[in-house]
Every structure is written in structure tokens, then in C-alpha cells.
Amino acid sequence: MTKRSICLHLVSGGTGQTLDSQAKACAPHFPDVEFHIRHWNLVRSRPQLRRVIAGIASEPGPVLSSLIDAGLQNELVEGCKRTGVQLLDVMKNTLTFLEGTTGTQAVDGGPGGQYIMDENYFRRIDAMHYVIEHDDGQQTRELRDADVVLVGVSRASKTPTCFYLANKGIKAANVPLVPDTPLPPELFELKKPVIGLTIAPEALLEIRRTRLNSMVPTKQHAGGTSLTRTSYIDPDEVREELMWAKRLCTRHGWPIIDITRRSIEETSAAVLDILEHPNPLSAPG
């Protein structure tokens, strides 16, 4: 079946990440439509807006806007009317809703107001530095400073999950679980959560084989084990490695998240859920 093609314009006075996330979240709900997204970011002057309106006119399609400046938004509304395209003011609708529920008048935060260099901003920066310095079992003496420590076998998405969490202001360290390799004693003295990441053997084998094909033959992975060693991609040994890691986590009471069918965002959400609502041994879903 041929999909309908629609040009979706996203107009923002900031970086456009909010609108882009919304569009990407909604698009899968319309399987018969192929959205071609046009980003119009950092729109903060009338000359810039006129260029946007001209671009919309050249490729007509619905418009999502998060412009804060009322004058620019009104001009965009008029431009869309002339072009005959529909416009949804995402920011205004949300602010109106929140004004109604809070009984408080919204103030002008300015474009990109969510990126103010406040305490939250610096917390995210500190968290990012922490992840870089404590990736793959580095500087284990400082694990006590982590908000959470992720453990798991090689290629279980520990590092990308830690970086995603850092963007939320969470200091996340990760420690690889390698058979016959002692774990740092600091790991067992932590007051902060330790969470295990696991994955289905078949999925892990596919990831590792792909990884091997892209690596120099002598490349080493966590724990100093050569990636060319057959046990790294031997189906039986991989299954045993995963079972060993699960037993280890269970023995120490560490919750386990199965990442097999989860995106990094979903895995991170499960970690955050455990941090907010600690539960025994496994994450739901």
C-alpha cells in the first residue's frame, strides 16, 4: 500500500527538540502516512519568520508551533491562513491548560527558556562528566558518589543508558560483569541502587557478532578478554555468561532489567522508575 506523503512543519523559537520529540512520538500512530518533517528552529525575528512562511508556502503542510513571541506567532497564524494550511500552537494550548489547572497566569519565559543555566543545567553537566569518568568500571573508588550503578555483561547497553540518564541529571556509573574477573569491593558497600541489565542470548549474540565485524582483530573488551576469543560469540557460553550474571544480581538483591525489546529511552525510564519506586529483583515489562 502506498503511503500518503505529508510535509509537517515544526516552527520553534528554540532548538526545536520538544516539537521534534512530539512529532516522532505521534508519527507511528499513522502507519499509512509518511511524514516529511521540516524543522524551522531559532525563529526569533520577523525576517526569519518570513523565510519560514515562504518555506511553508513552497511545501504546504500542517504546522506545529512553539513560538513564545506573541507577535511572531500572530504573523505565523496569518501566513498559514494565506497559504491554506492548518496550524496548532502547541505552546499556547499547553500554557492555557496549565493556567486553568493551576489558577496561575503564565509568565513569559522567553524562547529556549527550558535551557536556562540554572541548578538543573549544572546538575546535568556534572552528571555527564561523572559518566565519562566512571564508564566501564573506571575509578571504582568513587562509586559512592553515583546515584545509580548499572552492571551487566559486555554489550548490554550500559554505557548509552548511563549517558541518557546523565541528560536527566542522574550520575550513573557502570561496571562490566565478566566471568572469572573479580568485581570491585566498593560495589558491595554502596548505599545507592545497583541495577543489572540483561538481554536475550540471541539478541546479544547478534550485537556481539556485529561488533566483532567492525573491530580490529586484536581489540580488547572490558576485563581484558580478547574479542576474538570464541567464547565471546559461542552460543552456549553466552547463555551461561548471562545466567551467571543473573544469578550474581539475584544473590546480591540487585534489580534486573531485560533490555531485549527496549530502546535506550525505555531502559532509562525503567531505571528511573526503580530509583523512585524501589522494587525487588526485576523491572516490570
Annotated binding site for ADP: 152-159
CB 271 within 8 A of CB 257: yes
What's the sign of the alpha-carbon dihedral 150, 151, 157, 158?
Answer: positive
> What string of DSSP letters covers the chain?
-PPEEEEEEEE-SS--HHHHHHHHHHGGG-TTEEEEEEEE----SHHHHHHHHHHHHHS---EEE----HHHHHHHHHHHHHHT--EEEHHHHHHHHHHHHH--PPP---TTGGG--SHHHHHHHHHHHHHHHTGGG-SGGGGGG-SEEEEESTTSSHHHHHHHHHTTT--EEEEE--TTSPPPGGGGG-SS-EEEEE--HHHHHHHHHHHHHTS-TT-EEGGGEETTSGGGT-HHHHHHHHHHHHHHHHHTT--EEE-TT--HHHHHHHHHHHHHS--SSB---
List residues forming the annotated binding site: 152-159
Q: Which residues of 90-122 are buried (b: 16+ CB within 10 A; e: fewer)?
A: bbbeebeeeeeeeeeeeeeeebbeeeeeeeeee
